[in-house]
Amino acid sequence: MVATLNALLADLDTALLFIFALSAFVGAALMLVLRHPMQVAMALISTMVFLGGIYGLLGVHFIAAFQVLIYVSAVMVFMVYVIMLLDVRDVSFKRRFSQWLVPGVAGGVLLVGALGYGLWFGVDRIATTTVSFGLAQFAAAFLSEYWFQFELTSVLLVAAVVAALAVIKGSRRRDRG
């Protein structure tokens, strides 16, 4: 009874993983063809939520939480806010694609083809283990081994804040002068 239940749950996990992956791919493909930026933002948000589901199914729950917290609720809410702020109806709404449509798609297909070829024939060389890691192992590695990179990201954030302020200030000064 328990064994069949476990097998059923494992099957359910695989099926959910497949469904989430397919939905994320569909959302990403929709981003290329939808017209209004708000629709594109909604497609991107759904893709990110499905990716969060995939992370949860893979067992890295903290990354799933941060995917939803940082990407969906911080970055994308900011994005949606700016789309509402800049509701300028212009030519980029009527004509979605630039003149780079054909070379861009061709280059993208070439890149994906080359990557897919390498992945298809080289994936066996990646050593796979079933050893998973939890939050404790991650936190220990993060704060003992990678503390320098952690500090570097704080420097990067401060630089981003200063740069954003400089952009706004510079444009104001130009307006006045």
Task: Map the footprint of another protein across residues 13-52, applying CB under 8 A.
Answer: 17-18, 21, 24-25, 28-29, 31-32, 37, 40-41, 44, 47-48, 51
Q: How far apart are CA 49 and CA 131, in angstroms?
A: 26
- Shortest distance (Å) from residue 2 CB to another protein: 26
Site string for another protein, 136-175 (x = CB under 8 A): -xx--xx---x--x---x--xx-xxx-xx--xx-xx----
Residue count, binding to another protein (CB under 8 A):
84
Contacts with another protein in 105-124 (CB under 8 A)? 105, 107-108, 111-112, 115-116, 119, 123
Structure tokens, 163: 């740069």
Query: Could you report how far apart the first and last alpha carbons of the chain are, in Å?
Result: 79
Is 68 an interacting residue with respect to another protein (CB under 8 A)? Answer: no
Q: How far apart are CA 70 and CA 49, in angstroms?
A: 11
Is 176 an interacting residue with respect to another protein (CB under 8 A)? Answer: no
Burial 84-122 (b: 16+ CB within 10 A, else e): eeeeeeeeeeeeeeeeeeeeeeeeeeeeeeeeeeeeeee
Angle between helices 37-58 and 76-85 (to 10 degrees): 180
- Shortest distance (Å) from residue 106 CB to another protein: 10
Task: Classify 98 as helix, strand or coil.
Answer: coil
- Shortest distance (Å) from residue 11 CB to another protein: 15
Task: Classify 141 as helix, strand or coil.
Answer: helix
- Shortest distance (Å) from residue 161 CB to another protein: 7
Contacts with another protein in 74-103 (CB under 8 A)? 74-76, 78-79, 82-83, 85-86, 88, 90-93, 95-98, 100-101, 103
